[in-house]
Structure 1
Amino acid sequence: MARHATIAWVIRYQPLFAMLRVPVILNPASGPDQPTLKILNRAFNAAQQDWELFLTRKAGDAARLAEELYLAGEKLIAVCGGDGTVKEVASALAGRAVNLAILPGGTGNALARDLGIPIDLAAAVALVCGPHKIRPVDMGRLGERLFILRVSLGLETEILRSAGRDLKDQLGLLAYPLSAWQSVARVPFTHYTLTIDGQTMTIVGVQCTVANSAQMGVGGLNLAQGANVSDGLLDVIVLTHVAWDSLAAIAASNLLGQDTGVEVQHWSGREIRIEAEPPQDVAIGGEIVAQTPVTISVWPSALNLVVPK
């Protein structure tokens, strides 16, 4: 879920040798404590690039600003914030003829890591202002809600819910492993019935994830291998149990570039229905949005994102 400060205004910077402007939607409450405005200003000035800043102050502002900028005729819109803010802007721009640039400003920055976008803010600005390419990126749909990373049930939902703003401000990326350690004991085994493109199977596990991106945003680790945000498919990943050996298996799979062991079961498809016993909360980015049973589908090439060549 995106975080927000209590101030909102628009600031315009224009260096001497201005080109076309880049509108930047910024969530000033996202991510680590750093001089974000100073970094952005220096980076855009170094590129001799005109830019305009739009600050958010509450939930929904990022989507509203993205909508207004698109309707005003902008062909490229940048968003600076965490994955929650990126998801909000992406949901507003899905299916529209506009390019989206990510300036990573969050704690995990999972989508930026998946796409190879520099995590360093100044380097990300240089990418937007310099040579780059446009990559079509899928989104997922759960009812009327869109997501760009994943939908989670079970352990990951508890981890994201436990890693609140105060903990992330205090510990940064260490908030996630700490929350995982605290969450393990209270996550029950669940019987999942999965119907993937019409094929039904059952499996017992502690976590079920439907992922557009399997990037975890921590140490560059992926929950499973082979997930691709541009393949027109969603990845269904079930963690059958959680202990140090299963976490080690995930680490090993990242080292080898392929899934290992039975701790992580992995399928892919275009439409997925999930039933759970006992019923489970379903979350997007730590926000509970539904309860099982749910049906989730892919929206292929919903977005056009700025990425490295």
Structure 2
Amino acid sequence: MHFIINPASGNGRHSLTEAQLRGHFPSDTIKVEFTSYRGHASELAKRALEDKPDYVIACGGDGTVNEVASCLISTDVILGILPLGTGNGLASSLGLPLDLRQSIELLRGGKVSPIDVGTVNGQPFFSNMGISADAQVVKRYDAIKGRSLWGYVKSSLLTAFQYRPSETIFEYRGHQEKLLPFLFFISNAQEMGQGLSLTPRASLNDGLLDLFIVPEINFIEKAALGIHILCRTVPKFKKGRAIQLR
């Protein structure tokens, strides 16, 4: 078992140490490494594959998980997750406990199951991706120190004021549309992180990607959408369109 730990995940407040892991697993069966910068988890995961491990465990948030998982596609190596981030959208969608001790115990005896993966411009994603205001929200949120639900709300409010939609050509099932979307969100998982969701019906292993599209809307409608997101009632937002595609 090869553990890759991001010490900065969860605003650097998590308590996972190498000594703690060695207290739960036989020392001769594990290797532990720590990331030092963005992209380092991918480098460590690729190098870990040279040792032919049975498992590579990503210990961090969704960014760390995505870096590690991207290196394991189409290999026989099993991905493990110890969720240590502020969002933990993929872990939550998988039903993994966010308590560190519980997640370690699950890792010791948990079952293995396959999940789908999407790609955009050849880059894999496991939870979700977006090309409109949703992407701007994430970009702002990533730049915030001390990430929290309030940080996500603040990023969303700033984006709602400033974002200007761009014309988008959407082709699917032999059909083409020209859109001016406020949101063009593609998801493989139920959660975005922080317990929030735009695609509550999504499944990680149904062979489908869930799209949520919102056209250009006025500020009152943006506020209504925000309330639906916080109240977890997005399917009731009448201006939203949900599509499932292979």
Which residue number in structure 2 is paired with residue 273 of structure 1?
none
Deviation at 1:212, TM superposition (A): 1.6
**Please, which runs of 5 or more residues in structure 2 have no aligned partner?**
none
Q: Distance in 2 between matches of 1:35 and 1:207?
A: 33
Picking from 67, 81, 86, the partner of 2:46 is: 67
Contact 1:150 1:214 survives alignment (8 Å): no
**Within-5 A mapping of 1:104-143:** 104-130=83-109, 132-143=110-121
CA pair 104-174 structure 1, distance change in 2 beyond 3 A: same
Q: Which amino acid aligns with 2:199?
A: A
Deviation at 1:203, TM superposition (A): 4.1
Contact 1:32 1:172 survives alignment (8 Å): no
Picking from 208, 231, 238, the partner of 1:233 is: 208
**Within-5 A mapping of 1:1-309:** 22-38=1-17, 41-42=19-20, 45=23, 47-50=24-27, 51-130=30-109, 132-165=110-143, 167-169=144-146, 171-218=147-194, 220-240=195-215, 241=217, 242-251=221-230, 254=232, 259-270=235-246
CA pair 35-104 structure 1, distance change in 2 beyond 3 A: closer
Q: Which amino acid aligns with 2:53?
A: E
Contact 2:59 2:84 survives alignment (8 Å): yes
SS in 2 for 1:136: coil
Structure 1 length-normalised TM: 0.71
Which whole-Å deviations, capped at 9, do the CAs of 1:217-240 have from their partners, x for residues lacking one?
A: 12x221123111111111121123
Structure with greater strand share of residues: 1
Q: Which amino acid aligns with 1:246?
A: L
Deviation at 1:109, TM superposition (A): 0.8
Q: Distance in 2 between matches of 1:75 and 1:146?
A: 22
Q: Which amino acid aligns with 1:229?
A: L
Q: Which amino acid aligns with 1:201?
A: E
Contact 1:250 1:260 survives alignment (8 Å): no
**Please, which runs of 5 or more residues in structure 1 have no aligned partner?**
1-21, 271-309
Q: Which amino acid aligns with 2:197?
A: N
- Identity score, percent: 28
SS in 2 for 1:137: coil
